[in-house]
């Protein structure tokens, strides 16, 4: 199933948040049965069964799917409890930096303030001139995970979506750590849908691509991951309990703008597309914060970290 959060733009009255299942002929609105919060559905005993029952019980004769032309996609999880991210998790991303793969997964976090809807503008702050994108496979946790064995880890996955780990490279260098550079408001566009694990199959064999204004930046596959999804869930859950509705962003492959020759960065009006096979395309546009001015003081003398995620 493909779960989408959306606003029905042609509905009578102000369009509120809705939840439905995307089908070839449109979206079956299941808000009346499920509510509008996917996170609440995931807290159910068996979310896939709950959604399946709601879909089977929908009065399809009286309730036709809403055409895709009449919806505006929203982030499927606007307020996740945790966004756990993994740095340097692709062999080709390590190679482009001339780095050896880390000995174990490098974890960092984003927060709910960073979430942006598909199609929404991502503001380039005045504090950065080196804004970059990172297309990532995001795991949506469906079952509480604590000290999970690798072979049982897939049972804790509800589905998959796309996260764009937008990053201010200059702040990443100046700070010597990644919280501000990656945690800024709007730096985690998420969507366009959550695809259940049964439909994705093997998450370790998905084509992954990003582009800016139609020009390819990243063109790789999740087969380049150093640690696969089950290994990451097992590793994270040893120290951080993953709850239903949490997001695990699994890292990005080679091709980000910072490592182009010469480096390339995002500017006002640039359109970012992040695409993963079987999930779709997450599109967002860069808009400069106004007034645009160089109002940050570089932290002189701070050495650049060994690796940039």
180 and 90 part of one domain: yes
62 and 137 part of one domain: no
For 179, phi then psi, to 5°, come to: -60, -50
17 and 140 part of one domain: no
Whether residue 152 is predicted with pLDDT greater than 90 in this model: the reply is yes
Domain assignment present for 265: yes
Report the pLDDT averaged over residues 181-190. Answer: 98
| Residue 60, pLDDT score | 56
Domains in the chain, number: 2
Whether residue 69 is predicted with pLDDT greater than 50 in this model: the reply is yes
60 and 185 part of one domain: no
Whether residue 305 is predicted with pLDDT greater than 50 in this model: the reply is no
148 and 30 part of one domain: no
User: What is the rounded distance in angstroms from the CA atom of residue 186 to the CA atom of residue 205?
Assistant: 29
Domain assignment present for 293: no
Q: What residues have CB less than 8 Å from 306, skipping those under 6 apart?
A: 99
pTM for this one?
Answer: 0.93
29 and 93 part of one domain: no
| Residue 293, pLDDT score | 54
Q: Which of 47, 74, 101 is the last residue of a domain?
A: 74
Domain containing residue 14 = 2-74
Task: With cut-offs at 50, 70 and 90, classify the pLDDT of residue 292.
Answer: low
Whether residue 303 is predicted with pLDDT greater than 50 in this model: the reply is no
The answer to whether residues 272 and 287 touch, using CB atoms and an 8 Å cutoff, is: no
Whether residue 37 is predicted with pLDDT greater than 70 in this model: the reply is yes
Q: Residue 284's CB: how many other CB atoms inside 10 A?
A: 23
| Residue 48, pLDDT score | 85
Of 137, 102, 153, the C-alpha closest to 222 is 137
Whether residue 265 is predicted with pLDDT greater than 80 in this model: the reply is yes
208 and 162 part of one domain: yes
User: What is the rounded distance in angstroms from the CA atom of residue 280 to the CA atom of residue 96?
Assistant: 26
145 and 281 part of one domain: yes
Whether residue 14 is predicted with pLDDT greater than 90 in this model: the reply is no
Whether residue 150 is predicted with pLDDT greater than 70 in this model: the reply is yes
Whether residue 172 is predicted with pLDDT greater than 70 in this model: the reply is yes
| Residue 294, pLDDT score | 54
More confident residue, 60 or 230: 230
Domain assignment present for 296: no
122 and 153 part of one domain: yes
């Amino acid at each position: 199933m493909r779960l989408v959060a959306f606003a029905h733009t042609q509905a009578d009255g102000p369009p509120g948040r809705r939840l439905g299942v995307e089908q070839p002929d449109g979206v079956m609105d299941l808000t009346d049965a499920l509510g509008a919060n996917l996170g609440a559905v995931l807290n159910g005993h068996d979310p896939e069964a709950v959604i399946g029952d709601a879909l089977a019980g929908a009065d399809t004769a009286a309730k036709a799917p809403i055409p895709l032309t009449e919806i505006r996609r929203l982030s499927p999880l606007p307020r996740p409890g945790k966004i756990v991210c993994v740095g340097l998790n692709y062999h080709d991303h390590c190679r482009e930096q001339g780095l050896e793969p880390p000995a174990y997964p490098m974890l960092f976090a984003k927060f709910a303030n960073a979430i942006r809807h598909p199609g929404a503008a991502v503001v380039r702050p005045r504090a950065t001139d080196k804004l970059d994108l990172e297309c990532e496979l995001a795991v949506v946790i469906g079952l509480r995970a604590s000290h999970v064995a690798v072979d049982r880890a897939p049972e804790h996955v509800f589905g998959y979506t796309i996260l764009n780990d937008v990053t201010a490279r200059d702040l990443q260098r100046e700070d010597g750590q990644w919280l501000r550079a990656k945690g800024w408001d709007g730096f985690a566009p998420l969507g366009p849908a959550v695809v259940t694990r049964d439909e994705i199959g093997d998450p370790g064999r998905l084509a992954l691509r990003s582009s800016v204004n139609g020009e390819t930046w990243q063109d790789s596959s999740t087969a380049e991951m150093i640690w696969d999804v089950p290994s990451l869930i097992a590793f994270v859950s040893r120290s951080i309990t993953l709850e239903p509705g949490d997001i695990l962003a699994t890292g990005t492959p080679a091709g980000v703008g910072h490592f182009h020759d010469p480096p390339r960065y995002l500017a006002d009006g640039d359109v970012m597309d992040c695409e993963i096979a079987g999930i779709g395309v997450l599109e967002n546009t860069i808009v400069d914060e106004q007034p645009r001015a160089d109002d940050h003081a570089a932290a002189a003398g701070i050495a650049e970290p060994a690796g940039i995620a």
